[in-house]
Amino acid sequence: MAAGKSAGSRAAALARSPTQLLQRAQQLAADIYAEELGPGAITHRQFAVLTAVAADEGVAQSVVTRVTGIDRSTLAELLDRMATKGLLVREPSPSDRRANALRLTAAGRVALEEAAPKVARADARLLKLLGAAGRRKELMGQLSDLVAAGEPEPRAGGRWAYRNMTVGQRLQKAREAAGLSVSALAAKVGRSAPTISRHETGQIAVRNSQAAQYAAALNVAPDWLLFGTGNRPAPLRNA
């Protein structure tokens, strides 16, 4: 009797385990994805990478890691397979010869265009299981909050709330920490001073490729400029 109660208690605990429930939800999502895309299709991770690269041709490999959530070693292996399949190419970044820049091939663009509507259908099927639109919106918000909460925080120190800043504010902080005027930074990256000013004020969005150029010029990580994580500039004395 005691053994039966113990087993039942463990089963009940399993049903309440968030990791177990998320694992089952992930399997459900994977099954729906496979049904919509069919045999021989690109994987969801490959779709995520193609989407990230298509959004900014020439994007740094490190930025794709941050955008997709795929760890560096896994992404490196994935990129090897995708390059072998002719879906993308890797080349030295023009702003940092130590980094790889990624570009889609014609075959990669075709694969992405063919997969995109099918992935959208898979997402719609998954969310439809929840019924009311309000519940779907709530789930998306909670998942986004969970992912954001799990992101590594910047190290303590200084007075900058890095992740609460905009990209433009971080760009301005990094430029000032480097002791550069807007005009001096413009000369280093080959961009007009008015454009940099509009980037800093948020009037123009900073693209991933532009962030990589700024990062190389200011000796910070592209991830720091885009997301507030990674290598940062030395704090200003008056910051």
Residue-wise pLDDT for 135-159, tens only, equals 988 988 888 878 777 765 544 444 3
Cβ proximity of 238 and 161 under 8 Å = no
Residues 6+ apart with CB under 8 A from 180: 188, 218
Give the model's pLDDT for residue 236.
40
Domains 44-141 and 162-227 share a fold: no
Give the model's pLDDT for residue 172.
86
Q: Is the model more confident about 96 or about 81?
A: 81
Mean pLDDT of 52-56: 86
At 7, the amino acid letter reads A
Residue-wise pLDDT for 90-134, tens only, equals 988 776 666 788 999 999 999 999 999 999 999 999 999 998 888
- pTM given for the model: 0.64
Residue-wise pLDDT for 4-14, tens only, equals 556 667 778 88
* Whole-angstrom distance, CA of residue 230 vs CA of residue 228: 7
Domain residue ranges in the chain: 44-141, 162-227
Mean pLDDT of 62-88: 90
Give the model's pLDDT for residue 124.
94
Give the model's pLDDT for residue 101.
86
Q: What are phi and psi of 89, to 5 degrees?
A: -130, 150
Give the model's pLDDT for residue 237.
36
Mean pLDDT of 73-91: 94
Q: Based on the number of CB atoms within 10 Å of its own CB, is 41 exposed (0-12), middle (13-18) or buried (19 or more)?
A: middle
H/E stretch holding 92 reads strand 88-92
Of 102, 107, 55, 98, nearest to 80 by C-alpha is 102
User: Encoding tokens for residue 207?
Assistant: 């693209």
Q: Considering only the top CATH level, what class is 162-227? A: mainly alpha
Q: Which pLDDT band holds residue 76 (cuts at 50, 70, 90)?
A: very high
Give the model's pLDDT for residue 46.
96
What's the CATH code, domain 44-141?
1.10.10.10
Give the model's pLDDT for residue 49.
95
